[in-house]
């Protein structure tokens, strides 16, 4: 940790976070009503003039938790927001690599109820900067900003302490997620065992001789359960293909091609076409099998264009 950095950060404690901000609108019934609708607060002292007049308040009051709402700057803050210790603090932390931010606490104290017509101004100061802390999110500094809310007479009506953690995002792990292996079962074990040996096998009905793929127990032509295999030449052509874009999965490099390959023997199988720009793949393109070692555990029969 750099003590020089902490000294600079702590040098900003007590300074205005930015210029005072005067609320766009006075405390008003419409905003109170919308707030109560949104949070489901049916207390009549906020919206019913008769009930409110009969209450200890003698008039409509604003829900205390609306305090910050009155001085929200909107989605596009005024350009003057770039001034002040807050911007300086953030720039120092960004420069030191603490580039991520998360809000951690908000505490509010209410000095008095707000009435319709009150005009608020919010003034914020940097109240505290913690030494570098180790957290589950990463190493960083907690920054506490105190905002005092004052009315049209300059009297404090409430105070808010807002704490953020400005932290270094953990370095991305580059460990590659392994490509899931196709499931092996009693019906297709011969196919994958063939691939392990560098052979592309096609199931053949022993009764009628029809070839079939993907592997399954019964011949769709004669319903025989007897079968053996023939070894494919591994040559064929692209019958159809797509280039998937979404959703992306972490174990593939994009873009890539998923193709239906028609083998010379007549059966088709689904695979990837590799060793070519995905956008150069064409239907009818001659391809041949490449037994590709994807990782230590997995070999797949992928296809590449036949070299002339």
Give contact residues for Zn ion (rule: CB under 5 A): 205, 207-208, 210, 219, 221-222, 224
Nearer to Zn ion, 80 or 206 (CB): 206
Nearer to Zn ion, 114 or 202 (CB): 202
Nearer to Zn ion, 221 or 233 (CB): 221
User: Is 105 strand, coil or helix?
Assistant: strand
Question: Which two three-digit tokens encode residue 199?
Answer: 């052979």
Nearer to Zn ion, 122 or 202 (CB): 202
The DSSP-derived string for 274-290 is: -SS-GGG--TT-EEEEE
Contact (Cβ atoms closer than 8 angstroms) between residue 194 and residue 170: no
At its nearest, how many Å lie between Zn ion and the CB of residue 218? 9
Long-range contacts of 216-220 (CB under 8 A, 24+ apart): 216/187, 217/187
**216-241 as b/e, with b when 16 or more CB fall inside 10 Å?**
eeebeeeeeeebebeebebbbbbbeb
At its nearest, how many Å lie between Zn ion and the CB of residue 208? 3
At its nearest, how many Å lie between Zn ion and the CB of residue 204? 9
277: number of Cβ within 10 Å: 8
213: number of Cβ within 10 Å: 19
Nearer to Zn ion, 224 or 292 (CB): 224
Return the residue matching tokens 């005092």.
148
At its nearest, how many Å lie between Zn ion and the CB of residue 237? 26
Nearer to Zn ion, 156 or 206 (CB): 206
Question: Which two three-digit tokens encode residue 98?
Answer: 């603490």
Q: How far apart are CA 85 and CA 123, in angstroms?
A: 12
Nearer to Zn ion, 224 or 229 (CB): 224
At its nearest, how many Å lie between Zn ion and the CB of residue 266? 14
At its nearest, how many Å lie between Zn ion and the CB of residue 240? 26
User: Is 161 strand, coil or helix?
Assistant: strand
At its nearest, how many Å lie between Zn ion and the CB of residue 217? 12
Is the backbone of residue 247 left (phi > 0), alpha (psi -120 to 50) or beta?
beta
């Amino acid at each position: 940790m750099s003590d020089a950095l902490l000294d600079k950060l702590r040098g900003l404690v007590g300074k205005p976070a930015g210029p005072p901000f005067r609320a766009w609108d006075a405390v008003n019934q419409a905003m109170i009503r919308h707030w109560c609708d949104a949070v489901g607060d049916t207390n009549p002292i906020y919206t019913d003039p008769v009930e409110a007049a009969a209450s200890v308040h003698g008039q409509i009051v604003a829900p205390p938790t609306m305090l910050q709402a009155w001085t929200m700057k909107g989605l596009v803050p005024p350009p003057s927001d770039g001034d002040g210790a807050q911007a300086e603090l953030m720039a120092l932390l960004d420069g030191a690599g603490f580039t991520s931010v998360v809000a951690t606490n908000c505490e509010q104290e209410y000095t008095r109820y707000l009435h319709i017509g009150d005009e608020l101004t919010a003034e914020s100061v940097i109240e505290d900067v913690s030494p570098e802390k180790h957290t589950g999110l990463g190493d960083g500094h907690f920054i506490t900003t105190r905002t005092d809310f004052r009315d049209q007479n300059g009297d404090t009506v409430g105070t808010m302490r807002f704490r953020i953690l400005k932290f270094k995002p953990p370095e991305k792990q580059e460990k590659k997620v392994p490509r899931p292996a196709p499931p092996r079962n009693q019906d297709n074990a011969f196919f994958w065992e063939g691939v392990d040996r560098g052979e592309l096998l096609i199931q053949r009905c022993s009764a009628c001789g029809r070839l079939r793929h993907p592997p399954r127990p019964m011949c769709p032509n004669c319903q025989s359960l007897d079968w053996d295999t023939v070894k494919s030449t591994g040559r064929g052509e692209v019958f159809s293909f797509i280039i998937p874009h979404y959703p992306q999965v972490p174990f593939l490099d994009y873009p890539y091609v998923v193709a239906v390959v028609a083998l010379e023997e007549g059966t088709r199988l689904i695979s990837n076409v590799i060793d070519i720009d995905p956008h150069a793949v064409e239907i009818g393109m001659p391809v041949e099998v490449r037994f590709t070692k994807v990782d230590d555990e997995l070999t797949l029969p992928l296809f590449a264009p036949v070299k002339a």
